[in-house]
Chains A and B, each alone.
Chain A
Amino acid sequence: MDNPLTLEPLFHAGPVPITAPVLVTWAILIGLALGCRIATRRLSLTPGRLQVVLELFVTVVDDQIRDTMQRPPARYRPLIGTIFLYVLIANWSSLVPGIEPPTARLETDAALALIVFAATVWFGIAAQGLRGYLKTFAEPTWVMIPLNLIEQVSRTLSLVVRLFGNVMSGVFVIGIVLTLAGLLVPIPLMALDLLTGAVQAYIFAVLATVFIGAAVGEHSPSPETAKDLPQ
C-alpha cells in the first residue's frame, strides 16, 4: 500500500501534475453538475419525488444554518451545502472499487479548510467591517489576541486533521482487512465507513457554519458549541 501522505501524479497537463484526488473531484464535479442541471430543469410548485428530495436537502441545510447562526441562511447556503455535499460524496466514493476518496488526501482537506478559513474572514469582514472583525480578536481583552490568532489557525488545522484522519484511517483499515481477510469481511467495515463519511461531512459542514457564525456577529452562537460535536 502506498504511503497515504505521498501523492504521485497520474499525468501532467503541461507543468501541472494531475493527481487522483483531482481526477476524482472532477468526476464528482461533472456528475453533480449534470445531475443538478437535469434534476432542477423542471421544477414546479407541485414537486415530484426527486424535487422533494432536493427541497428537503436545501431545507435541512437552511434549518441547520438558521439554528446555528441565527441569521437568514440564503447567503451561506451555497458554501455550507456545497461543502457538505462534496465531502459526503467524496467520502462515499470509496465504495467504488479502485477509487480512493479525495478527502483521504491531505491536500483536498487542506483546500476545504482553507476555503472555510477564507470564507470566515470574508463573511466576518462583510458583516462587521474590517475594523469590527479585527476587534473580535481582542475579545474579551487584548491579552487574548495571540490566543485568538492561534485559535484561528488551530481550528483550521483541526478541520484538516479531523477529516483527513477519519477518512484516511477508514480507507487504510479497509485496505488492510481486504489484504488479510478476503471478500466479505470488510463489508461491515465499509458500512461503518459510510456512516463515518456521512458523520464527517456533517461535522465539517457544521463546524464551518459555527466558525462563520462566530465571525459574522453577536447573534451567532459561540464556537464553544463545536465542542459538543463528535470528533
Chain B
Amino acid sequence: MSIDWWTLGLQAVNVLVLLWILSRFLFRPVSDIIAARQAAATQDLDAAQATRAEAEAALAAAQEQLAGVAATRAQMLAEARSEADRSRDQLLSEARAEVEKLRTAAQADRLHRQQEASHAMHAEAAELAVDIARRLLDRLPATARVAGFIDGLAEAVARLPERTRAGIGAEGPVPLRAAAEMSGDEADHLRERLARVTGHPVALAVTTDPTLIAGLELDAPHAVVRNHFRADLDRIRQELLKND
C-alpha cells in the first residue's frame, strides 16, 4: 500500500478551491436571497401587523364612537320624549285652560245673553204691561184722570218736610202738570188742599201732559211731587226689572 502524496495534496487543494467557489457562487448568494426573502416577509408581516393594529384601533374607535352616538341618540330621544311630554302636557293644560276659559266665557256670555234676553223680555213685558195699563186707563173719563189724584197729591205734599212745604208757592206759581185738562173745580179743589197742607195759598201754573196717563205732578222748588200712573207704572216697571 502506498499513498500518492501529490494526489492527496492536490485533492485537498481542489476541495479547498471548490469550497471557495461554492461559498462564493452558491451558498452566499442563495443564503442572501433566502435572508432577503425572509426580511421581505418579515417586513410584510410587520406591515400587515401594523395595518391590522391600525385597523383594530380604528375599529375600536369606530365602536366607541358608535357607542357614543347610540348613547347620545338615546339621550336625545329621552330628552325629546321628555320635551314632547312637557310640550304635550303644556299644550293640553293650555288647551284645557283655553277651553275652560272659552267655556266660562261662553257660559258667561250665555248667562249674559240669557239675562239680557230675560231683561229685554221683562222690559218688553213691562212696556207691554204699561202700554196695556195706559190703554186701559185711556178709556177712563177725563175727570177721573185728574180728580181722583188731587187728594193723593195733597197727602204727598203733606208728607214733605216742613221747610220744603213752606217753600212751595213762595216764589210764585208752582208748575203743575195734569194728565188731562183740569176743570175749574178741580183746580180750586187742588188749591184748597194745597193751602191746607202748606198753610198758605199756592198759585199753580197748570199744564196738560197726557204722558202722565192719569194724575198730577207738582214741580216745587226743592221737590217734585208725583201722583200719577206714569210714575206708578215706571216704579212698577223698575221693580219688575229689579226683580229680574
A residues adjacent to B (C-beta < 8 A): 5-7, 9, 16-19, 21-22, 25-26, 28-29, 32-33, 36-37, 39-40, 43-45, 47, 51, 54-55, 57-59, 62, 74, 77-79, 81-83, 85-86, 102, 105-108, 110-112, 114-115
A2 to B103, CA, bound (A): 142
Taking a contact as CB atoms under 8 Å apart, the answer to whether A107 and B36 are in contact is: no
The answer to the question of B67 belonging to the interface, with a C-beta cut-off of 8 Å to chain A, is: no
Residue interface mask B125-139, A partner, CB < 8 A = 1? 000000000000000
Which of B21, B23, B33, B37 is within 8 Å of A29, CB to CB? B21
Q: Could you list 8 further interchain pairs (A-B, Cβ under 8 angstroms) beyond the known A32-B22, A105-B7, A107-B8?
A: A5-B2, A17-B4, A40-B29, A45-B37, A78-B22, A78-B23, A82-B18, A111-B15
Q: Which residues of A contact B3 (CB under 8 A)?
A: 106-107, 110
Taking a contact as CB atoms under 8 Å apart, the answer to whether B30 and A40 are in contact is: yes
Which of A7, A21, A44, A79 is within 8 Å of B33, CB to CB? A44
The answer to the question of B120 belonging to the interface, with a C-beta cut-off of 8 Å to chain A, is: no
Taking a contact as CB atoms under 8 Å apart, the answer to whether A45 and B23 are in contact is: no
A57 to B31, CA, bound (A): 10
Q: Which residues of B contact A9 (CB under 8 A)?
A: 4
Tell me the minimal C-beta distance from B25 to chain A in angstroms: 4
A28 to B15, CA, bound (A): 10
Q: Which residues of A contact B29 (CB under 8 A)?
A: 40, 43
Nearest-neighbor residue (CB-CB) of A46 within chain B: B37
**Majority secondary structure, B binding face:** helix
Known: A16-B6, A55-B34, A58-B31. A78 touches B11 (CB 8 A): no
Nearest-neighbor residue (CB-CB) of B25 within chain A: A36
Q: Which residues of A contact B15 (CB under 8 A)?
A: 25, 82-83, 86, 111-112, 115
A5 to B1, CA, bound (A): 6
Tell me the minimal C-beta distance from B21 to chain A in angstroms: 5
Taking a contact as CB atoms under 8 Å apart, the answer to whether A45 and B8 are in contact is: no
A119 to B34, CA, bound (A): 26
Taking a contact as CB atoms under 8 Å apart, the answer to whether B11 and A79 are in contact is: no
A106 to B11, CA, bound (A): 11
Tell me the minimal C-beta distance from B39 to chain A in angstroms: 10
A-B CB contact pairs (8 Å), 8 listed: A19-B7, A22-B14, A26-B14, A36-B21, A58-B34, A62-B31, A86-B15, A110-B8
Nearest-neighbor residue (CB-CB) of A74 within chain B: B31
The answer to the question of B10 belonging to the interface, with a C-beta cut-off of 8 Å to chain A, is: yes
5 closest cross-chain pairs (CB), A and B: A78-B23, A111-B11, A111-B12, A107-B7, A36-B25
A57 to B12, CA, bound (A): 24
A83 to B14, CA, bound (A): 12
Taking a contact as CB atoms under 8 Å apart, the answer to whether A111 and B22 are in contact is: no
A111 to B8, CA, bound (A): 6
